[in-house]
Amino acid sequence: MQGLNKDATLRLIRLGLSEDFAHGPDATTEATIDADVQLTAALVPRQDGVVAGLDAARWTFNEVSPAITVDIHAVDGDAAAPGDHLATVSGPARAILSAERTALNLLTYASGIATHTNEWTQALAGTHARVRDSRKTLPGYRDLAKYAVRCGGGVNHRMSLGDAVLIKDNHVASVGSVAEAYRRTTATFPHLPREVEVDNLTQLEEVLAFTPDLVMLDNFGVEGTREAVDKRNAMSPATKLESSGGLTLSDAREYAETGVDYLAVGALTHSVRVLDIGLDAI
């Protein structure tokens, strides 16, 4: 699994710390804790889940003070249970407490994404299908969010607008046909992987004639998806199919058993419920 991008994460960490220190030092901590006091604390989950973003937490503490030592006891992607010690943090108490919220914000956010993604992964277990994310991420958080999806067993869609072609309805409307949109993208960016969104089986047949890398089935029902898989198998077996639109955990397996390759779930990253993790003094 590709690791977390440190440069991108440090930019996010520094933005979070700049907000926390926007009006000066941590007033409460400075007033109540002497400068020479040392602290040892553990990062502890309050609920079951899948952990992600431990390096983000470690880099946050070290960004505030290199005198803080962070010993990590788990691996991103591990199952976490209440009471587990995911990491031990030791060093100047003032620095640790000043970094605590930014570190936990990133860790709980990433772990929440990994946990929800893992629920989808478990729902699809034993089928050919994989769950995929989207670009529905908050500015600055994309690398962390998509890393967390990988930790939960999911697959990333494109990271940006420039690493893959995705022909959607507005592109088709602007040039008059799927065929023309496909021709233009192939001529301009022949080296990029190519995905085409379709709304019905007639459009699918038109698209499959080009043997695209991937076709997105937008808001197809289960039966329509099954028919789409049959058409793909007959016309362009190498083309991957991705179900998208209104998918839920309760119907995930039914879609997966049609034979599609991916289930696109924007909610993995746009509707995050954080995993409750705290910093407890030892």
Catalytic residues: 101, 136, 168, 197, 218
- Secondary structure (DSSP) of 65-100: -TT-EEEE-S-TT-EE-TT---EEEEEEHHHHHHHH
Which 3 state secondary structure label does DSSP give 136? coil
**Which residues touch 183 (CB under 8 Å, ≥6 apart)?**
none
Other C-beta atoms within 10 Å of 24: how many? 7
Cα(132)–Cα(46) distance, integer angstroms: 27
Which 3 state secondary structure label does DSSP give 185? helix
Q: Is residue 98 exposed (0-12), middle (13-18) or buried (19+ Cβ within 10 Å)?
A: buried
Per the CB < 8 A criterion, the answer to whether 50 and 86 are in contact is: no
Other C-beta atoms within 10 Å of 60: how many? 28
Query: What distances in angstroms separate CA 67 from CA 207, 213, 223, one per listed residue?
Result: 58, 50, 60
Which tokens in the block code for residue 111? 């772990």
Which residue in 15, 44, 48 sits closest to 114, CA to CA? 48
Cα(41)–Cα(89) distance, integer angstroms: 5
